[in-house]
């Protein structure tokens, strides 16, 4: 299982949001480029970067911090936030991104996303699906900053995307995101059981090395962790040792 440290960018700074709420922002003093470099020096081969300004402000967003990071990060970077069309994908790939992460459009325009898988190659795109579990235990993707629910549940959507060639899936249980209360092991185990060919990145809730240890039997190929590393609950080196 690969460790994928995460950085969220907002107005040129590294931040974390609680449950995606822009009103609950934690700012970190270190520069994004310095954080990326330190993670790479510790052995992390990948970095996950979300441009929150692009998500919030759309075409008017100042994305200079993202493109500066893409040009300077020593490791492979996958990046999302505000990716709305093929031009956005092209710009990020041309700037140095190894993979581009797409969220709401995978839900609202799944056919278009499948087309981009064919256009850019399945290794270049990641479907990022943020879900909430209903009272019946069914995961439902949330869209537009988690403000509304998709028309199909996670399994119905993944049936289409996996048939269309999807390789990389990033799945976040919204209730665990930024809360440091443990990952949803049942959800990730069910995804890999149903779709064994997908490369699943588990996201949300990792707070300890024990959480990483418990994730390994789920079959996830990668784990994204942001706040736990930034809050120094464990180091990149310690996480890599655990995942080995």
List residues with catalytic annotation.
8, 130
| Structure-block tokens of residue 46 | 């990948």
Which residues, 6+ apart, have CB-to-CB distance to 239 below 8 Å? 3, 209, 212, 225, 229
Residue 7 is inside which H or E element, if any? strand 2-10
Among 142, 230, 146, 134, smallest CA distance to 180 is for: 230
The CA R_g of the chain, rounded to the nearest whole Å, is 16
Backbone angles phi, psi at 143, to 5 degrees: -135, 170
- For residue 124, how many C-alpha atoms fall within 13 Å in the half-sphere facing its CB? 19
Q: Which residue has the tokens 């990326």?
A: 36
How many helices (DSSP H) and strands (DSSP E) are in the chain?
11, 12
* 111: number of Cβ within 10 Å: 8
Which residues, 6+ apart, have CB-to-CB distance to 159 below 8 Å? none
């Amino acid at each position: 299982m690969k460790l994928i440290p995460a950085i969220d960018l907002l107005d040129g700074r590294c931040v974390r949001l609680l449950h995606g709420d822009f009103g609950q922002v934690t700012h970190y003093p270190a520069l994004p480029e310095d954080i990326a470099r330190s993670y790479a020096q510790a052995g992390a081969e990948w970095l996950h970067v979300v441009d929150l300004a692009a998500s919030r402000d759309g075409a008017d967003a100042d994305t200079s911090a993202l493109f500066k990071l893409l040009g300077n990060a020593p490791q492979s970077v996958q990046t999302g936030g505000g990716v709305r069309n093929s031009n956005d994908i092209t710009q990020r790939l041309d700037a140095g991104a190894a993979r581009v992460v797409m969220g709401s459009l995978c839900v609202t325009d799944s056919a278009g996303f499948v087309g981009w898988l064919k256009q850019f190659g399945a290794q270049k795109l990641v479907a990022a699906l943020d879900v909430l579990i209903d009272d019946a235990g069914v995961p439902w993707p949330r869209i537009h900053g988690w403000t509304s629910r998709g028309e199909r549940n996670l399994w119905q959507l993944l049936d289409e995307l996996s048939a269309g060639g999807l390789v990389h899936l990033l799945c976040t249980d919204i209730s665990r995101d930024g809360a440091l209360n443990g990952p949803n092991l049942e959800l990730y185990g069910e995804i890999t059981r149903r779709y064994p060919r997908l490369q699943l990145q588990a996201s949300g809730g990792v707070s300890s090395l024990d959480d990483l240890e418990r994730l390994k039997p789920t079959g996830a190929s990668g784990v994204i962790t942001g706040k736990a590393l930034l809050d120094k609950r464990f180091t990149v080196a310690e996480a890599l040792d655990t995942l080995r």
